[in-house]
Amino acid sequence: MNLETEYPIRTEKLSKKYIKSKFALNEVDIRIKSGKITGFLGVNGAGKTTTIKLLLGLLEPTSGKAYIFDEEVKSEKAWLKKYIGYLPEFPRFPGFLTPVELLKIYGEFYGMEKGELSNRVRELLNLVELSDVENKKIKTFSKGMMQRVGLASALLNSPPLYILDEPTSGLDLLGQQLVKNIIRDQNSQGKTVFMSSHLLKEVQEMCSDIILLHGGKVLWSGEIKELLSSNINTNVRLNVDRTDETVKLIKDLSFIKSFTVNGNMIDMVVESQDNIPEISTILVKNNIKIYEIKIETLNIENAVLNLLKGDESE
Amino acid sequence: MKVNDFKTFTKKLKALLKYDFYRNIRSLRIIIAFVLVLAIGIILAVLYGFVLKVNKSDIFIMSILYLGESNIVPLILGSLLTMDAISAEFEKGTFITTFSKPITRKFYYFGKSFSSFIYLLMEIFLLSLAAFIISFVFFGNQGKIDEAMIILSGSVLTIFFYATFTFALSAIFKNSIASFFITFGIWLALDIGVGLYSILYGYSLWTFLTPLVGETFIPIALADAYKNPNAIFKYTIFKTYNSGMTNINFSFLIVGVNILYIAILLIAGYIFFLKADIKEQ
């Protein structure tokens, strides 16, 4: 056990095969950097939830290993969960309990002392804005409220690592903002966050790193800025006065992948944004008036889609 | 086990007991079962005393005996309490959050069985107390509390057996209703089958040791062993069964075999529970 490790989460050729099905996870190697917020992306059925369950010891791997703070995950090592705050995608809690009762019982599972636990429960219910319903039974709660209870339960013993499965799912805009702020706040305290999400904009907004899982394999992993600046084509739209002449000038340029003409508009796909000054220089030299150059900034959605399409075409 | 480990263990166990306390106290099903059995207890005490005019000193004993002897009562009492002990978590998808906390499946399973036994004991205690108070109020001092306690301990074992049977099924099938009705169905089939066989061919030793049927003889065997330990155990319905064993030996056998059944059922349920995938709903 090493809380100072560079990678609080690490897997080595982690695989999971369910009975009578193909591999849900196939030799996955991931490393989550300490103190960072890492997004875990993938289409439905990519293997995200399976990975998370393997990290928590809720499932046994078919082969390979998972490590939390350099300690190999085994179902019998329940004590490892003291160091993980987990929020499932669909948090479900016993409906006969109130949030106060539930959090106190969970706190006792962590071995927390009575006085400390009572204060922490009040503090957390305030934080997730459930203080006014603290004595109502959970069975009367909406999905969003359940999500807040789940978050409070994950934060209960202030662990150094959070594994959050779709943390803003089922929340309204204010709820989403609240959860994002809590995650950022925990990260600012040096906590590591590993969160799965299908909301790519949310991931771009919150995370510094991402792991993209597809078909049970890691398709891409690294920093988001690296993904966005990597060698992925850029879309450019030109509005010029003489399209025919423009086409003649640009058609043989090696960095132009394709183009289509639509009236005065030329839509091009170029290798990178760095090619645009060269295009404009050529056009200006040939007295072509440029009314507009519109660059479609590559966002994470396009980048991920390109990766997924690329993987499927292979 | 170190002192700190022990403290943490007891804290977790207390948390599990608290969890089940809320579950039981807020479950309409458990309250209905409790009221039902309590009502039967009161009705029987009144029936024995006023209608059947049983020897007054036996009323409390007979009221207690119904707990273990009547078959259906221990089944209702035991099975209704444990039918969802494990399966409810599978059905409601709450295991995933429970097991994201630092508790093992072993702790959870055996902690749950321990907690079920504790709450069963509390229910039995309250029911016995009610039967005792009624018989005491109407018929005065019974003077046979020791014999009643022996019978009661036999009834407790009978109820524990039924509770464990359903508890294990709850872990195996992950379905509360199925656990209850499978217990009920097997009991009904065996009871009718063994009953008919016994009427036609008489009782055999295996009749007394058949799971879900033989448990009803535990309180009687213990009562006989208490009153006449060295007499030969005999049982008469239609035909007389002579065990060839003394009452004390027979009671040891039937109690020992049922403790073994309980252990086997608990372990079988645990093996299935250990292998079960924890899924989200």
Q: What is the mean pLDDT of residues A152-164?
A: 95
Total count of domains within chain A: 2
DSSP-derived pairing of the beta strands A234-240 and A290-296: antiparallel
Q: Mark whether A129 and A260 lie in a shared domain.
A: no
Q: Mark whether A217 and A238 lie in a shared domain.
A: no
Mean pLDDT, rounded, of chain A: 88
Are residues A58 and B278, on separate chains, in Cβ contact within 8 Å?
Answer: yes
Q: What is the mean pLDDT of residues B234-238?
A: 78
How far is the first Cα of chain B from the last one, in angstroms, to the nearest whole number?
A: 37
Q: List B residues 151-180 in contact with A (Cβ-Cβ < 8 A).
A: none
Q: Which residue of A has its CA nearest to B92?
A: A92
Residue B66 has pLDDT above 70, yes or no: no
pLDDT tens by residue, A219-269: 888 888 887 776 566 778 889 888 889 988 888 888 887 788 888 889 887
Span of A95-109, A187-201, B192-206 with lowest mean pLDDT: B192-206
Q: Is A296 on the interface with B (CB under 8 A)?
A: no
Q: Mark whether A170 and A258 lie in a shared domain.
A: no
List residues bridging with B266 in a β-sheet. Answer: none
pLDDT tens by residue, A68-101: 999 999 888 888 999 999 999 888 999 999 999 9
Angle at A163 between CA A192 and CA A125, to 5 degrees: 95
Q: What is the CATH number of the domain that holds A278?
A: 3.30.70.100
Are residues A59 and B278, on separate chains, in Cβ contact within 8 Å?
Answer: yes
Q: Mark whether A254 and A146 lie in a shared domain.
A: no
Q: Mark whether A185 and A52 lie in a shared domain.
A: yes
Mean pLDDT, rounded, of chain B: 85
**Which range of residues forms the domain containing residue A237?**
233-297
Residue A163 placed within a domain: yes
Q: Mark whether A201 and A249 lie in a shared domain.
A: no
DSSP-derived pairing of the beta strands A209-214 and A37-41: parallel
Percent of chain B with pLDDT over 70: 91
pLDDT band, residue A314 (cuts 50/70/90)? low
Residue A116 placed within a domain: yes
Q: Mark whether A208 and A239 lie in a shared domain.
A: no
pLDDT of residue B220: 86
Residue A314 placed within a domain: no
Q: Mark whether A201 and A272 lie in a shared domain.
A: no
Residue A304 placed within a domain: no
Better-predicted residue by pLDDT, B136 or B280: B136
Q: Mark whether A104 and A181 lie in a shared domain.
A: yes
Q: Is A109 on the interface with B (CB under 8 A)?
A: yes
Percent of chain A with pLDDT over 70: 95
Q: Mark whether A106 and A165 lie in a shared domain.
A: yes
pLDDT band, residue A307 (cuts 50/70/90)? confident
A285, amino acid identity: K
Residue B278 has pLDDT above 70, yes or no: no
Are residues A81 and B102, on separate chains, in Cβ contact within 8 Å?
Answer: yes
Residue A138 placed within a domain: yes
Please identify, among A223, A250, A278, the residue that sits at the C-terminal boundary of a domain.
A223
pLDDT of residue A36: 94
Residue A3 placed within a domain: no
Please identify, among A223, A245, A271, the residue that sits at the C-terminal boundary of a domain.
A223
pLDDT tens by residue, B137-185: 777 766 677 888 888 888 889 889 999 999 999 999 989 999 999 999 9
pLDDT band, residue B93 (cuts 50/70/90)? confident
Q: Mark whether A250 and A268 lie in a shared domain.
A: yes
pLDDT of residue B281: 42
d(CA B159, CA B154): 9
Please identify, among A182, A199, A223, the residue that sits at the C-terminal boundary of a domain.
A223
Residue A26 has pLDDT above 90, yes or no: no
d(CA B51, CA A174): 69
Q: What is the mean pLDDT of residues A277-283?
A: 89
Q: Mark whether A32 and A147 lie in a shared domain.
A: yes
Residue of B87, B101, B176 to mutate when probing chain A, most A C-beta within 10 A: B101
Percent of chain A with pLDDT over 90: 46
Contacts of B275 (CB under 8 A, 6+ apart): none
Percent of chain B with pLDDT over 90: 35
pLDDT of residue B279: 60
Most confident of A237-246, B68-77, B259-268: B259-268
Global ipTM: 0.84
Q: What is the mean pLDDT of residues B61-72?
A: 68
Residue A31 placed within a domain: yes
Are residues A58 and B96, on separate chains, in Cβ contact within 8 Å?
Answer: yes
Question: Within 13 Å and on the Cβ side, how many CA atoms surround A23?
Answer: 16
Residue A311 placed within a domain: no
Residue B42 has pLDDT above 80, yes or no: no
pLDDT of residue B84: 87
pLDDT band, residue B270 (cuts 50/70/90)? very high
How far is A314 from chain B, CA to nearest CA, in Å?
Answer: 33
pLDDT of residue A101: 96
Q: What is the CATH number of the domain that holds A13?
A: 3.40.50.300
Contacts of B32 (CB under 8 A, 6+ apart): none
